[in-house]
Amino acid sequence: MKIMSVLDLNEKYIKKIKQELPDAEVVIAEEKDKQLQEIVDTDIMVCVGSFSEKEVIEKAEKLKWIQSWSAGVDGLLSDSIKPLLQEKDIVLTNMSGIHVDSLGEQVVGYLIAFSRRFKDFFKQQQEHIWDKLKVDILRDKKLLIVGTGAVGTAIAVRAAAFGMEIIGIKRDPSIVPEGFDKVYSADKLEKRLVEADFTVAAVPLTEETRDMFNQRLFALMKDSAYFINIARGEVVVEEDLIQALKDGVIAGAALDVYREEPLPEDSPLYDKENLILTPHVGGLFPDYNKRAVEVFTSNIDRFVNDRELINIINYQLGY
């Protein structure tokens, strides 16, 4: 069996893969020319979710499974790639679940930063100003989490520890995940936005969620509300968010993901004082590759024993 990775995996991780599949040939192919050469007889491919080399997929003759090294699989679900994967009956899996701790902590960090006004106090420190600004606490504040999957649940559990009221938006509101006080269906989003003190976007990128947060939704929020996006950049219309921040429609926002990454130097987002920007680091932590290999090797065991893989992407739903 042949495994082709477009990522430069450390030798210690390759050894772990071979421990699970001793007879496997593991090939590293970072450059497209090598990918085109090696993919022909590859059984399993490892790549990032933004991989979008249609020509490489077209040349695959034996490929049965693609393991994304990230949770997002936007490139692989693009209009040019997804039909190929479906036509060739290739299973796509991702790393959903391994980011929950880091993303949960990232969002809690934003919540505390807004409530305790850390950004304002840091600015005062730089300017040698001593001014006891009015600060707040999170207890009894309403946190609306749009998307109650593994990441949304991790956020809810952590935020609940602060005594917040946690509201979720999900497809099937009949099941209330851990940490949530109440959940509602997507058609109740607008009503819940009106009440929320903080709103977190934690949805996958699909046709339904693309451009979800726009001028109309921002206008429904309280002028004291904060918006946080740790989902995908494309779920937010950035121009509308910038205008909402400029006009005081909402109090502030925090973004870890953007429509264009890296964020261009001339982006107006950099200049908004009531905006916290982090460079898509929410899902990162020191042992990421170690955890990812554990997920991958577990799936290898399932694959060779003809059992269902974990974290299979539903091509119809887009996640």
pLDDT in tens, 230-262: 999 999 999 999 999 999 999 999 999 999 999
* pLDDT the model gives residue 88: 97
How many Å apart are CA 100 and CA 107, to the nearest integer?
11
Are the C-beta atoms of residues 283 and 256 closer than 8 Å to each other? no
- Residue ranges per domain, the chain? 2-96+286-304, 100-277
How many Å apart are CA 316 and CA 140, to the nearest integer?
38
Structure tokens at 258: 């953007």
Across the beta sheet with 182-184, what order do the strands follow? 182-184, 165-169, 142-146, 198-201, 226-229, 252-255, 275-277
Render pLDDT for 149-204 as a digit per residue (tens, 0 to 9).
999 999 999 999 999 999 999 999 999 999 999 999 999 999 999 999 999 999 99
* pLDDT the model gives residue 257: 98
Mean pLDDT estimate for the chain: 97
Render pLDDT for 255-284 as a digit per residue (tens, 0 to 9).
999 999 999 999 999 999 999 999 999 999
* pLDDT the model gives residue 64: 98
- Per cent of the chain over pLDDT 90 is 100
* pLDDT the model gives residue 11: 94
Q: Give catalytic residues, as residue numbers.
A: 232, 261, 280
* pLDDT the model gives residue 145: 98
Are the C-beta atoms of residues 242 and 270 closer than 8 Å to each other? no
- 44 pLDDT band, cuts 50/70/90, is very high
CA angle at residue 86 from 82 to 89, to 5 degrees? 140
Measured CA distances, 66 to 52, 151, 219 (Å): 12, 22, 41
* pLDDT the model gives residue 115: 98
Where does 100-277 sit in CATH, by number? Answer: 3.40.50.720
- 199 bridge partner residues: 144, 227
How many Å apart are CA 261 and CA 59, to the nearest integer?
29
CA angle at residue 227 from 223 to 231, to 5 degrees? 160
Instruction: Find tokens 């998307």 and name the residue.
Output: 147
Q: Burial of 285 by CB count in 10 Å (0-12 exposed, 13-18 middle, 19+ buried)?
A: middle
Structure tokens at 136: 């707040």
Are the C-beta atoms of residues 25 and 2 closer than 8 Å to each other? yes
Interval 22-38 mean pLDDT: 96
- 67 bridge partner residues: 46, 93
One-letter amino acid of 262? P
**What DSSP designation does 12 have?**
H
Question: 3-state DSSP helix/strand/coil percent for the chain, to nearest 5?
Answer: 35, 15, 50
- Domain boundaries 2-96+286-304, CATH class: alpha beta
Are the C-beta atoms of residues 245 and 274 closer than 8 Å to each other? yes
Same fold, 2-96+286-304 and 100-277: yes
- For residue 104, give every residue at least 6 positions away whose Cβ sits within 8 Å of its Cβ, in sequence order, or none: 151, 154, 155, 157, 158
Interval 291-315 mean pLDDT: 97
For 77, the 3-state DSSP assignment is coil
